[in-house]
Amino acid sequence: MQSQLSSSLLYTAAGLSALTVAAHTQMGLDLVLPSLKKTNPTDPGLRAAKIGWMELNQGYVLMTIMATKWARHGMTSPYEKAFAAVYSLSQMAFGVWYAREGFPVVMLPLWGIPGLLGLSQLV
């Protein structure tokens, strides 16, 4: 049985993930996609980058769903724990990469959500 604090941390992670979908989409529309339009539109790598930017939102949608499920029913199976671990480690590594590129604002979703997942398993 998980604690009320654990559930609250997971609901917070789910909420942050859902907000990140909107913020990530807006950043793509305002910053990323216009920058890519200024370059060679026939470059397959740039076309893939456009798709990839928006495709990343599926990870935040999945985390919203999973964190809500975990808040209600707990993180019980080893597969769920492995999913959470891989997600968290990946997000934290990408956070370092973004910070090195001068985008510290993305630390909340990239380190905050994994931090909440981890804390939820300790309380």
pLDDT at residue 53 tops 90? no
| Residue 122 pLDDT | 92
| Residue 39 pLDDT | 82
Q: How far apart are CA 70 and CA 68, in angstroms?
A: 5
Element (H, E) at 29: none
Element (H, E) at 80: helix 78-100
Token code pair at residue 1: 């049985």
| Residue 67 pLDDT | 97
State the pTM of this model: 0.85
CA dihedral 95, 96, 100, 104 (to 10 degrees): 40
